[in-house]
């Protein structure tokens, strides 16, 4: 199929079951030969109503099977011609739907093959009645086939029209994505590459020139400001790329799943890379006890908070990371910083509920897991607090 079909809903399955039962019910009081045409009509209706057949075959193959069985019933039906009429309209209408659907959604080769088979079976369907008339006259069969050609041609035309619309829509999406990629490439060149080039030039100049302490401090301030501007431009670029209708839970999972046991290394590495002092308060024995997705989300909460501190408040004097188990049971992860000092570097002040793409995506991921994420000012600094639910587990010895 060209497009991915959604699974059938319970309502659609219920409609299919009801319709097929009502169509097949009259065969219970008819001669046994009527079951042949009744079952073919019921099968055609089921394949036409459901997006996916109940048997493990593709929808296109199921439609082709309907065409083969319909032609076989035209040739081998042994009963009276009058028994054909009660089920003929249902089979005819179902095959019209199948012709349009196959031509619209199947790949080119299958659309041509199965669509042609369905169209021929649809045009031959009236012959099941006319060839069994008491008088063997050719005229009724010719008229019936000619009358069936018009709705069959309409079904083919509708399928081709919808297929052309789908192709145009797909090409338009591809063009829009290509233009967006080109625009992102221009933005990266105009803004991010410009800032990175400036940083490289400053570093190269520093390698061949002698700087005193004051000049070194000014150089580092310029490098920090340029790096932060580049990160800010990258944030705007990622914001434009991110699909607002796609939840964070649908994004590709990380290559490595982190846990609470990785937090000490993460915090130590952060504290060693700058002037910020702080402490990690991780409840003893907690690492490795929560589900992997919960521990990974907790690690990401701390990682995102530390990243924002480095960007917005690199001169913060104090950092506190607390990971404890609370009632619920739940895992509470809190990261608090003392805020940036006046006149220090960093991006613009953070706004409550603002955040970049990382914090927004993290909030969606935490919400998907049934938790809650909050970020905002706290005691002159900033606090990020995530609460992640834990599945109830039996109490351990020595723990309340």
In order along the chain (400 residues), what is the average pLDDT of each group of 10 residues? 56 85 85 86 88 74 90 85 84 92 90 92 88 74 89 93 92 83 68 69 69 75 75 67 51 61 86 76 87 88 84 75 88 85 50 56 85 85 89 44
Instruction: Compute, in degrees rounded to 10, the torsion defined by CA atoms 91, 96, 99, 100.
Output: -150
37-76 burial, b at 16+ Cβ within 10 Å, e below that, comes to bbbbbbbbbbbbbbebbeeeeebbebbbbbbebbbebbee
pLDDT at 161: 94
For the chain, the residue count is: 400
Report the pLDDT value the prediction gives residue 220, as an integer from 0 to 100: 77
Which residues are registered as beta bridge partners of 336? Answer: 320, 383
Cα(312)–Cα(232) distance, integer angstroms: 11
Beta-sheet strands, E only, within the chain:
277-282, 318-326, 330-337, 372-378, 381-389
Q: Which two tokens stand for residue 219?
A: 């150089």
Cα separation of 99 and 48, whole Å? 10
Contacts (Cβ under 8 Å, ≥6 apart) of 315: 275, 276, 340, 341, 344, 345, 346
Non-local CB neighbours of 381 within 8 Å, separated by 6+ positions: 313, 316, 318, 336, 337, 338, 339
Q: Are 129 and 84 in contact (CB under 8 A)?
A: yes
Please give the Cα distance from 256 to 259 (Å, whole number).
10
């Amino acid at each position: 199929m060209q497009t991915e079909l959604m699974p059938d809903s319970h309502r659609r399955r219920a409609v299919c079951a009801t319709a097929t039962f009502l169509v097949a019910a009259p065969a219970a009081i008819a001669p046994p030969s009527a079951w042949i045409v009744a079952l073919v009509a019921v099968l055609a209706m089921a394949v036409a109503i459901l997006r996916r057949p109940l048997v493990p075959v593709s929808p296109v193959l199921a439609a082709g099977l309907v065409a083969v069985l319909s032609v076989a019933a035209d040739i081998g039906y042994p009963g009276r011609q009058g028994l054909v009429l009660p089920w003929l309209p249902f089979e005819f209408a179902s095959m019209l739907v199948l012709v349009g659907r196959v031509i619209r959604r199947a790949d080119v080769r299958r659309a041509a093959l199965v669509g042609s088979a369905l169209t021929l079976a649809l045009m031959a369907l009236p012959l099941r009645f006319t060839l069994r008339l008491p008088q063997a006259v050719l005229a009724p069969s010719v008229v019936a086939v000619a009358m069936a050609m018009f709705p069959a041609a309409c079904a083919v035309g509708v399928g081709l029209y919808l297929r052309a619309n789908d192709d145009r829509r797909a090409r338009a999406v591809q063009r829009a994505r290509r233009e967006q990629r080109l625009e992102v490439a221009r933005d990266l060149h105009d803004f991010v590459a410009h800032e990175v080039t400036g940083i490289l030039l400053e570093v190269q100049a520093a390698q061949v020139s002698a700087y005193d302490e004051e000049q070194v401090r000014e150089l580092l301030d310029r490098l920090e400001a340029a790096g932060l501007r580049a990160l800010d431009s990258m944030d705007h670029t990622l914001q434009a790329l991110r699909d607002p209708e796609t939840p964070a839970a649908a994004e590709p999972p990380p290559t490595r799943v982190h846990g609470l046991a990785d937090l000490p290394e993460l915090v130590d590495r952060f504290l060693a890379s700058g002037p910020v002092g702080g402490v990690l308060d991780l409840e003893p024995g907690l690492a490795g006890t929560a589900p992997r997705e919960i521990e990974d989300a907790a690690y990401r909460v701390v990682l995102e908070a530390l990243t924002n501190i480095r960007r917005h408040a690199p001169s913060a004097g104090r950092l506190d990371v607390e990971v404890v188990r609370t009632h619920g049971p739940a895992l509470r992860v809190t990261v608090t910083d003392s805020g940036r000092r006046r006149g220090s570097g960093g991006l613009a002040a953070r706004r409550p509920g603002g955040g970049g793409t990382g914090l927004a995506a993290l909030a969606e991921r935490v919400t998907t897991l049934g938790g809650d994420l909050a970020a905002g000012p706290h005691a002159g600094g900033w606090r990020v607090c995530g609460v992640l639910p834990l599945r109830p587990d039996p109490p351990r010895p020595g723990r309340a």
